[in-house]
Amino acid sequence: MIGFISIPIITHLMPPAELGKFGLMMSVSFILIPVISLCADSYLPVAKSKGKSFSNIKKSVYVLSFLLFLLSLVTTIIIIINNSLSWLLFLLPLFCWVRAIRVAQQSELIYDEKVNLFGMSNIGLSLLTLAFTAVFLKYISNDSYSRLLAILLAEFLILILCLKHVQSIKSSSFDSSEVKKIFKFSLPLLVSLFPAWIVNEYGKVFVSDNGTFAMVGILTVSLQISAFQLQINAAVYNAFLKIIYSDVNKVFSIKLFGSIMLILLFTTAMGAFFIYVLGEKFVSAEYKGFVSITLALLVGVYFQSMASLPALYANHVGLTPWRLSALCAGASVCLLFLHFYVNIGDGLMQVAYVYSFSMTTYFITLLLTTYVYHVKKNNY
């Protein structure tokens, strides 16, 4: 709810074109965040569940993460110099690194069942982001860099909070023997980022190439609202994380799978109802048409949320390439429909339909792949 409240402030203080530029920067962060962290938010819960020198593993992940951050920072500086861009662009890799570590810390809170702390950190992040965004856009500048600086500062403060409540790495040491394991786990997920980026973010690039930054801004608003709904849905399956990892075969039990499916359907339907009834009253008229676009995107959000269940199964059994295969199927559908069936002159609804259809393809492919393996493994 707090995240959604920030949308009216953003849309009334930022013109669609600037929000479109910000949306494209977030498209870059979609890949850069997990690359910098080596998918630590997925790896650390698995490592902790196996209970083998977790503090050393954690420190090894964060040392590698810092080195990757420095590499991304140098690359960004070179891009700035070669293209005469604003030096404020260096904030982007810094934001990605801070968010990557914050998300990894929160994944540990979830595994430790510190639900109250996890909830407080999310609420605090939303409140701080809302406050800083309002102040920065109004009193500093209403451009994309002010928005980026606002969320960077909020992310940093919540990171400090999380660090106080997770396992410390002060007395641990860098374990070089873990590096190979970390990369072995993360590499398929990192490779899968590219088809995932196509499904989640390429629509904005497609619109920017064939439309205007203002259209990208409208699509960005709808995607941000969809992302808030995705966070709400994530709280549902995160509540079952330890239950699933204690016996991963429960993922495919009718009781557990059906319960999560119905709860996610309810939360997504409630989000859609809220947007349908109140959406246009909160968002600036400059972003005309965003309600119908958002409703179409929420179908994809539901299937993306459902896909997290077979994805957790794939993570636990160490067969992360399955996620890559499923994402490639979704990305292929996305590219095919965008380039051969979508006419941007007819508006953004077709782009939203493509997103949802691509996510549905991803879910069905991953579910079938993991379920077939589950059946064979257990000799059903």
pLDDT band (50, 70, 90) for residue 51: low
Q: Which residues contact 316 (CB under 8 A, 6 or more apart)?
A: 46, 49, 244, 245, 248
pLDDT greater at residue 280 or residue 142 = 142
Cα-based distances in Å from 63 to 82, 92, 213, 340:
29, 20, 38, 44
Distance of CA 104 to the CA centre of its chain: 12
Radius of gyration for the alpha carbons in the chain, expressed in angstroms and rounded:
20
pLDDT band (50, 70, 90) for residue 2: low
Q: Is 80 exceeded by the pLDDT of residue 317?
A: no
pLDDT band (50, 70, 90) for residue 347: confident
pLDDT band (50, 70, 90) for residue 303: very high
Q: Is 60 exceeded by the pLDDT of residue 292?
A: yes
**Measured between alpha carbons, how far is 208 from 213 in angstroms, rounded to an integer?**
6
Nearest to residue 253, comparing CAs of 188, 202, 313, 178? 313
**Measured between alpha carbons, how far is 205 from 209 in angstroms, rounded to an integer?**
6
pLDDT of residue 299: 96
Taking only the tens place, the pLDDT of each residue in 93-136 is 999 999 999 998 888 888 777 878 888 888 899 889 989 999 99
Helix (H, G, I), strand (E, B) or coil at 357: helix
pLDDT of residue 123: 85
Taking only the tens place, the pLDDT of each residue in 173-198 is 777 777 888 888 888 778 878 898 99
Q: Is 70 exceeded by the pLDDT of residue 5?
A: no
Q: Which residues contact 345 (CB under 8 A, 6 or more apart)?
A: none
pLDDT of residue 251: 79
Q: What is the mean pLDDT of residues 288-308?
A: 93
For 286-302, give the DSSP string: GGTTHHHHHHHHHHHHH
Q: Is 60 exceeded by the pLDDT of residue 79?
A: yes
Nearest to residue 191, comparing CAs of 314, 349, 328? 328
Nearest to residue 61, comparing CAs of 167, 204, 154, 139? 167
Q: What is the mean pLDDT of residues 212-238?
A: 87
pLDDT of residue 206: 93
pLDDT of residue 379: 67
The first and second tokens of residue 277, run together, are: 């009834």
Contact between 4 and 228 under an 8 Å Cβ cutoff? The reply is: yes
The first and second tokens of residue 166, run together, are: 């997770």
Question: Which range, 144-153, 222-231, 370-379, is most confident?
Answer: 144-153
Taking only the tens place, the pLDDT of each residue in 257-288 is 888 899 999 999 999 998 888 877 778 778 88
pLDDT greater at residue 297 or residue 171 = 297
